[in-house]
Structure formats: structure tokens, C-alpha cells
Amino acid sequence: MSAAETPITREGVEFAYRYLLDRPPENEKAYEYGLSAGTVETLKRWISSSPEYVQKQRAGMSTVLRRAILADSQAEPAEAPPSVGAGKPRIVFLHIMKTAGSSMRERLEQIAGTEPVWRRESDGRPGDVPQDVLARYRVLMGHFNIADSRHVPQPRRIFTVLREPRERLVSLYYFLHRHTAERVAEQKMEHARIARACSLEEFLTHADRGVRDSLQNVMTRALAGDYRVAGPNRYIQPWERPDQAISGPQMLAKALTNLLSLDFIAFVDRLEEDRPLLMKALGVPDLGPLPRKNTKDLIADHLEERPPPVVTPLAEKMLNRLTDLDRVLYRLARQHRGV
């Protein structure tokens, strides 16, 4: 059956939006609009003639073409892993960097056993592939955002781990700062190259846009959607026009709504206390204490010993400024959990 003869479904509407516009439908009316097209081909034609699609073509033709090609492809339905076929949910770990993720990821691999695991660093973002491709995985984990997480087909359980935001940034700097020059050159780690040459204060105030984007309210942005820093108190998603940027409080409201819809929220400083509750929420057995991985004292071939960072008054000021939304999110998340 050709695409023109393919009846549109709710899943098809989301698929078309993601791979032509780089985003899910914005609300229920958008789904209704998509379903009213009747066929996949008609909806593709409608979207391709929209101002948003034309704007995306101007902003990044290669991305639009790649999405269009993916939208044209008809992936074969994947067989669910045995545990999912038996009624268990897929596990989605929205991993925010420097939140004990390596320990959690090792435990999730143990839980998956021989069943397939999606890893962001090798497989990419879940939102960049059809849901049929994701259906064969038991566990999906990595540095992606809430939209990627929700693109994983049901049944699924989504969780994340949060950390005190200023502490997280200091840990991130120290981790990058300790990478050996050889590892940095080999892996082309630009942020680590900058961190190696900087004090904490210099890193937090660095002019490099990529560095600043990796530091500013990262938790809130990941939980709100695919938001990037667009300017002082302005945030935007890649497909949006500059006049569609939203304020920090608007983004925080989105992030809180999404955060409270997760199946579980854990915290780094009480991870062992949260572990049994998390495993229960995921519907898996508790295998005992988590392995300790990627700690600040870790000695490895690619990490060298460095003195702990010094938090100067200016560094403290920058830590507060870069985490203004994340600190509100973190405080309210703990209140929600009652911890």
C-alpha cells in the first residue's frame, strides 16, 4: 500500500509532526487536525505547505530533508522484547548529566539482561527514529529530553534523577577538568578542553556559547522540552521562530508539569533510600545497592588527579545565576516527594 493510500492514525500524526517539523503535535487540536487529513500523504502535503515547515527549510535544509526521507520510509513493525510482550513496561531513564547516571545505567543494564538496550551515545535520540524502531527495546537511557522520552511507545515507565543544581555544575566542571589532554584530543571534547584550561570561575563565565548553553538551567530545559538559551531570560526550541521564545518562568511551568507526570523522581543525595521505591515504580526486582560509578574520586586512564575546584565569590554568584530556574524546580520536586 502506498503512502497516499495509508489511512492516518494518531500515531501517524505524531510521526509526521516529529519527522517533518522536529516536534510532537502541540495539543489535542493538532492531533484532530492531523486526523482530519484522512491519509498520510494528505497530512504530509498540509505540513509541507505550512509557514513553520518553510521556516525550517530556510533555517536548516539538511535537517528538514533528513526528516522528510525518514517520514517517507515505512519501518517494519519490531517485535517487542519478551518481558514487554509479557506485560512489563519499557524503562526510560531521562539522564541529566552528573546525576549518578553511570551507576543507574549499569543497574538498568543488569535488569535488561539479554534484552536490547537503547543508549543515547551510540543510538542517538529516541525522538529521531520511528516508534516502530523503539518498540524492540526494553530499556532506553541517556542524555535526552522529555519529548524523546514520551516518544517511546507504551507501555513505558519514565524516571529521572535530580541533583542540587549548583553542586551539579561544580561536579560537571571538575569531571571535565580532570580529563587527560590525550583523551580530550582523541575524542574532540571541546568543553573538556576549555575546562582543563580554566578555573571554575573562568569556566562559569566563559564566552563560548556552547559552554554557557551546557550550564544554564539544564534540568529545567530537558524537562520542559528541547529548549535552548535564546538570550537573557529567553528560551526557544530549534523549530521555533525568534518571536516564539518564552520566558524562564514559562519554561519552568512546562518543566514542572512534565516532571510531576513522571513515574518516579529520585535524588542523588538519597539514591540508596530511593532505590527500592524506584524499582517498585518501574515494576522490576530490587537487586540491592547500586554500583558506585563515575565518582569524583574515580581514577581511570582518561582522568587525572586535580585539586578540587575553588568556589570564589564570583563563581558562587554565577552558580546562582546559571541555576535560578533549576533551583526552584529542584526545591519543588523535593516538596512533591516529601523529602
The per-residue pLDDT for range 236-289, each reduced to its tens digit, is 988 788 888 999 999 999 999 999 999 999 999 999 999 999 999 999 999 999
3-state helix, strand, coil in the chain (%, to 5): 55, 10, 35
Q: Could you give the CA distance from residue 103 to residue 94 in angstroms, rounded to a whole number?
A: 14
C-alpha cell at 167: 553542586
User: E strands along 176-319, which residues?
Assistant: 228-231, 234-236, 246-247, 264-267
What pTM, to 2 d.p., does this model score? Answer: 0.78
What single DSSP character describes residue 211? H
What single DSSP character describes residue 301? T
pLDDT, residue 40, reads 80
User: E strands along the chain, which residues?
Assistant: 90-94, 117-119, 139-142, 156-162, 228-231, 234-236, 246-247, 264-267
Q: What is the pLDDT of residues 163-185, one digit of tens each?
A: 999 999 999 999 999 999 999 99
Asked, as a colleague might, if the bond just before 238 is cis with ω within 30 of 0, I would say: no
240 compared with 51, residue with greater pLDDT:
240
Q: pLDDT at residue 71 above 60?
A: no
Residues 6+ apart with CB under 8 A from 310: 199, 200, 201
CB contact at 8 A, 311 and 170: yes
